[in-house]
């Protein structure tokens, strides 16, 4: 990996990239601890990598008290941006979101606001139900399965103006999707004009063998890298094929990715910084991770921060 610092291509790729999901496995932190972590990351020198704080909508009532000491001190400070997960009881969960944001608007609580909602669907009907219930003010991400072919679900998301969410890992080897299924998803999302976020398993920039949890006896498996996923999406968005995306997803050599002032190269292929901007704005939005430190530490080890 070429040693660089503060390159526009790097900043374009990593800005707001990591939505912090410290409440979820394998970290599975309590809410006060996760909130303290997020508050510290917001004042870290690498704060620009940080995106939203993710929590279940049902826990919004506990959020203000649990996060009190970590939240911005003044209403005039930029509020935390939250992404709320909704479950089977969509109406109840969205009521919690609306009540939480009403307190923000009224001034009773002015230091955090929900601006994104995330849910799950396995059928077109479930996508329609979630999209119909969610007000358009929220950026809506709907997690869909990668098998069988997700094309019909991606078409439904496009029709409803929703974004996709793709699971890229988990705490067992079986939870990690194949590169072939992920490449098919990326190609289908670009063809359908559906932006997406990823969740789980993207703690490291480049594909490689890693422990799946923080336990001493954790199973190990080959995990996807966030460079692989986001740059594969960028190449597809720039006109590359699904088979090209598969090759990028399979890459395990960090030296194959070379950042420069005008863009990034993967082997003999090049993406301009403007293409990375388009990818982040229109295709690959972010990824959720229970760890913020691991991605940042790896980027520092590669001398990209």
Condensed to tens digits (0 to 9), the pLDDT of residues 48-73 reads 999 999 999 999 999 988 998 898 87
Condensed to tens digits (0 to 9), the pLDDT of residues 198-247 reads 999 999 999 999 999 999 999 999 999 999 999 999 999 999 999 999 99
- Count up the domains in the chain and report the number: 1
Q: Is 3 inside any structural domain?
A: no
Dist. CA 213–CA 29, nearest whole Å:
13
Condensed to tens digits (0 to 9), the pLDDT of residues 12-26 reads 999 999 999 999 999
Q: 108 pLDDT exceeds 70?
A: no
Condensed to tens digits (0 to 9), the pLDDT of residues 115-156 reads 999 999 999 999 999 999 999 999 999 999 999 999 999 999
Average pLDDT value for residue range 185-191: 98
| Planar angle of CA 229, 235, 237, nearest 5 degrees | 100
Q: Is 1 inside any structural domain?
A: no
- What is the span of the domain harbouring residue 168? 8-301
pLDDT of residue 4: 45
Q: Is 263 inside any structural domain?
A: yes
Mean pLDDT taken over the chain: 94
pLDDT of residue 1: 47
pLDDT of residue 110: 63
Q: 6 pLDDT exceeds 60?
A: yes
Q: 2 pLDDT exceeds 50?
A: no
Comparing CA positions, the residue from 207, 213, 143 lying closest to residue 179 is 207
Q: Is 2 inside any structural domain?
A: no
pTM over 0.75? The answer is yes
Q: 171 pLDDT exceeds 50?
A: yes
Q: Is 143 inside any structural domain?
A: yes
With pLDDT > 70 as the criterion, what percentage of the chain qualifies?
A: 95
CATH number reported for the structural domain that contains residue 194 in this entry: 3.20.20
Q: Is 194 inside any structural domain?
A: yes
pLDDT of residue 151: 98
pLDDT of residue 72: 83
pLDDT of residue 105: 65
Q: 179 pLDDT exceeds 70?
A: yes
pLDDT of residue 199: 97
pLDDT band (50, 70, 90) for residue 109 = low
Average pLDDT value for residue range 272-287: 96
């Amino acid at each position: 990996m070429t040693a660089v610092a503060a390159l526009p291509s790097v900043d374009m790729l990593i800005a707001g990239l990591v939505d912090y999901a410290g409440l979820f496995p394998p970290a599975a932190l309590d809410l006060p601890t996760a909130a303290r972590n997020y508050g510290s990351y917001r004042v870290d020198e690498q704060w620009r990598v940080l995106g939203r704080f993710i929590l279940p909508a049902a826990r919004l009532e506990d959020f203000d008290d649990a996060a009190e000491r970590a939240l911005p001190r003044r209403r005039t400070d930029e509020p935390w941006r939250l992404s709320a997960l909704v479950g089977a009881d969509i109406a109840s969960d969205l009521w919690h979101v609306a009540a939480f944001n009403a307190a923000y608007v009224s001034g009773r609580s002015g230091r955090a606001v929900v601006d994104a909602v995330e849910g799950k669907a396995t059928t077109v009907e479930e996508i329609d139900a979630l999209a119909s219930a969610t007000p358009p003010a929220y950026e809506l991400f709907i997690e869909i399965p990668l098998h069988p072919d997700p094309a019909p679900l991606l078409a439904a998301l496009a029709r409803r103006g929703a974004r996709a969410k793709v699971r890229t890992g988990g705490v067992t080897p079986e939870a990690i999707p194949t590169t072939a299924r992920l490449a098919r998803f990326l190609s289908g999302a670009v063809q359908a004009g559906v932006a997406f976020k990823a969740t789980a398993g993207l703690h490291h920039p480049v594909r490689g063998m890693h422990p799946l949890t923080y336990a001493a006896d954790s199973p190990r498996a080959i995990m996807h890298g966030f460079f692989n996923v986001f740059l594969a999406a960028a190449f597809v968005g720039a006109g590359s094929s699904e088979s090209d995306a598969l090759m990028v997803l399979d890459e395990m050599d960090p030296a194959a990715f070379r950042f420069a002032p005008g863009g990034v190269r993967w082997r003999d292929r090049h993406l301009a910084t403007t293409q990375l901007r388009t990818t982040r704005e229109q295709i690959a939005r972010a990824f959720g991770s229970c760890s913020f430190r691991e991605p940042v530490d790896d980027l520092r080890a590669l001398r990209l921060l």
